[in-house]
Structure 1
Amino acid sequence: MDWLRKKLKLYDDHKVGDELAKQALIENHGVIDGGNTGQLTSLKTMDACYLVPAFSGLFCPYWREDARGVIAGIGEGCTNGDLIAAGYRSSAYQTQEVLQAACETDRGPKRRPPRVISVDGGLTNSCVLMQSLADITGSKIIRPNKSDVMTALGAGVAAAIAVGIDPTDLLSIRQHEGGEQEANTFRPLVCPKTRRMWIRGYKNAVQRSLNWQTDAIAAAADSDDEE
């Protein structure tokens, strides 16, 4: 999102960017609202455009160093809001792919994806991202109060476990900081068929991000041969 804001200068303020993305999604997919009251009234099976932020390659589950970022599916009606929405939703699509990879096993049945995901960090302030995460993963998303405190708490718990310290006392901080109260809950608003179509569109965009570095090296080699 920093790339869209600072490099492309599509928006100045995160609240403005979130509102532009929300309006774009309303026009493309129906009403996508944060919190518990959102209802999705109309659907399209493809996003207005897809952003694959493979600026330094693709990581899990692809592990491709030759990938580079692409924006795919742009039509003449594509707006700043559509591009911002694509940026937010790329995080949701990437999360879905990581969860899918984590659920796959070499032996035995696949694990079930989580029904509930608790999130924290700066991007969780975006209701567009939170609702997109719920719709694309099919999981209920819980955004706790004071998510920045929860981020620090999670790092502290991980550090305590790493050195063999019982993190129980640290976890009690949630009660004092109000972290156990649900500030917002975002539930999936789309049917599985629509979800699969959205994901298929993103995967098509991912395929267009591959082989860029390899092709650049090959083109340079051909140029050297011609000289």
Structure 2
Amino acid sequence: MTKPYVGAIDQGTTGTRFMLFDRGGHVIANAYEQHEQIYPEPGWVEHDPVEIWRNAKAVVSRGLSVAGLDAEQLAALGITNQRETTVVWDKKSGKPVYNALVWQDRRTVDRVEELDAETVAAIRKKTGLQPDAYFSASKVEWILDNADPIKLRRTRPEDVRTRAESGELLFGTIDSWLIYNLTGNHVTDVSNASRTMLYNIHDLAWDETLLVEFDVPEAMLPEVRPSSDEDLYGHTDPDGFLNAEVPVAGALGDQQAALFGQTCFDAGDAKNTYGTGSFYLMNTGKEAVSSDNGLLTTIGFQRSGEPVQYALEGSVFVTGAAIEWLEDVGLVGDPLETATLARSVDSTEGVYVVPAFTGLGAPRWDARARGAIVGVTQSTKKEHVVRATLESIAYQTRDIAEAMEADSGVETTSLRVDGGAVKNNFLCQLQADIIQTEIVRPEVDETTALGSAYAAGLAVGYWDDIEELRSNWQVDREFDPEMDADDADRMYDRWDDAVERSLDWDRA
């Protein structure tokens, strides 16, 4: 293989990153660009897909330029993306008919709550998902019903839904949107398809009954392919912004990409990614394990010619976003201050923060829950609130860890962690204390990008096999529990009391 690098576009909730990796999994280049968060109404969250594509081109170009490289030196390109975020665009012009509805968006809560018990059970059985506005199905339905061309001053007079039914409009998650712009092809991978609430994860096919339920025309759906695809998703346009024909060979939803990047290739392997939210995934192998404890059953990944690997997932909507909130309300000037402030007090003095800003995900699944701060007294200082916010991240992770053990029968003895928040040593130690298990942080903590690079590189033979990837994985630091187990249990029990006060708040 003469081409020395693999690139990855990591399109996240707050921004887009491009990273270059060599055969050892080392970072050669890294470029990042934020995009605007659009909040038209309370609970509504949108992104501009055109801005996202523009930023993707910018970070790829900048990353290559800073490294002194050109696209001809890329063996392949991988894509990883914020999952569930939904885009509908014109097949011919490539223009979106509406902003992307972000996974955090809650405008379709009422619609999901209208589902009858039979439909809820069918969704759980077929898709492995807990019916929620989080997923793509109700989002695409909303766009088709509400992206009125007259209201939006579009030049085309035809009804949006009619155009979708005739195949003039395309639907996809962000991976599909990027791949379409890179290659002209309308495809997605199994991991992203499994997050739409329209895909049967057992039959590996779009589900006709669910398409009818959410009134999503089959003509607008992408083709579903393996996450690491020897047949490729296509090539970049040699006359496009890269001036090169680069194979796009890997795609994974961001959390599945982190699972892959953490080399969790075997049943029982688990990781937790701390980003805007946090997402705890355990590989369950070829078996789709059903959850009795509020977790999701999802597709982990699929390599070309191999069976699907399934996973159990605990989705927490707000973790890193809680740290951003501390900055937004002026309690910290910089997220890096949180560790110093939290260490400056011995405890929260009974204060608990429940960061249910967009409802609660696993294991409670309460779309009506809202954020709460409880236990405040006259002696409460901002340091106590900051520490309580960091503790909330650890408590939510323990919620998932306990549910994961109950569903899988596998005791967590070591948890691999990644994402921006794990740079905070205080948080990592706190996590080890609250869960009472070893926390392992790898040298490369941007494992979402690494995972999609691995998927693309394997597809084109850049890496020979997954054993080569395992040898790349290196530990940066391990955090062992230091807190007494009884103290951890006592603090965690009180967390449940705090959460109870946040539930169903939006209905009051």
TM-score, length-normalised on structure 2?
0.34
Q: Is 1:140 aligned to residue 438 of structure 2?
A: yes
**CA distance in 2 between partners of 1:115 and 1:82 (Å):** 30
- Written as runs of structure 1 = structure 2, the 5 A alignment for 1:22-101 is 22-24=343-345, 27-28=346-347, 48-101=350-403
Q: Is 1:193 aligned to residue 493 of structure 2?
A: no
Check the 8 A contact 2:439/2:479 in 1, yes or no: yes
Q: How large is the Cα RMSD of the aligned pairs?
A: 2.7
Query: Who is 1:4 aligned against?
Result: 326
Q: 1:113 aligns with which of 406, 411, 414?
A: 411
**CA distance in 2 between partners of 1:168 and 1:101 (Å):** 36
Distance change in 2, residues 1:156/1:92 (3 Å): farther
TM-score, length-normalised on structure 1?
0.72
**CA distance in 1 between partners of 2:427 and 2:505 (Å):** 28
Query: Who is 1:15 aligned against?
Result: 336
Query: Who is 2:451 aligned against?
Result: 154
| Secondary structure of residue in 2 paired with 1:200 | helix
**CA distance in 2 between partners of 1:104 and 1:167 (Å):** 36
Q: Percent of counterpart pairs with the same letter? A: 30
**CA distance in 2 between partners of 1:155 and 1:69 (Å):** 34
Check the 8 A contact 1:124/1:130 in 2, yes or no: yes
Check the 8 A contact 1:48/1:75 in 2, yes or no: no
Check the 8 A contact 2:463/2:469 in 1, yes or no: no
Query: Who is 2:507 aligned against?
Result: 214
Structure with higher helix content: 1
**CA distance in 2 between partners of 1:47 and 1:211 (Å):** 26
Amino acid at match of 1:200: D
**CA distance in 2 between partners of 1:95 and 1:140 (Å):** 13
Shift of 1:152: 1.7
Distance change in 2, residues 1:77/1:112 (3 Å): farther
Q: Deviations over 1:102-128 (max 9, x none)?
A: 2224xxxx7243111111110001112
**CA distance in 2 between partners of 1:197 and 1:23 (Å):** 22
Query: Who is 1:219 aligned against?
Result: none
Q: 1:131 aligns with which of 410, 421, 429?
A: 429
Shift of 1:174: 6.8
Greater mean deviation of Cα atoms: 187-196 or 116-125: 187-196
Shift of 1:196: 1.1
Count how many residue pairs are aligned between Structure 1 and Structure 2: 185
Amino acid at match of 1:203: D
**CA distance in 2 between partners of 1:98 and 1:159 (Å):** 30
Shift of 1:211: 2.2
Check the 8 A contact 1:153/1:171 in 2, yes or no: no
Distance change in 2, residues 1:83/1:112 (3 Å): same
**CA distance in 2 between partners of 1:145 and 1:3 (Å):** 28
Shift of 1:72: 1.0
Q: Deviations over 1:51-93 (max 9, x none)?
A: 1111111110101112110011112222212111111111111
Query: Who is 2:208 aligned against?
Result: none
Amino acid at match of 1:125: K
Distance change in 2, residues 1:15/1:133 (3 Å): same
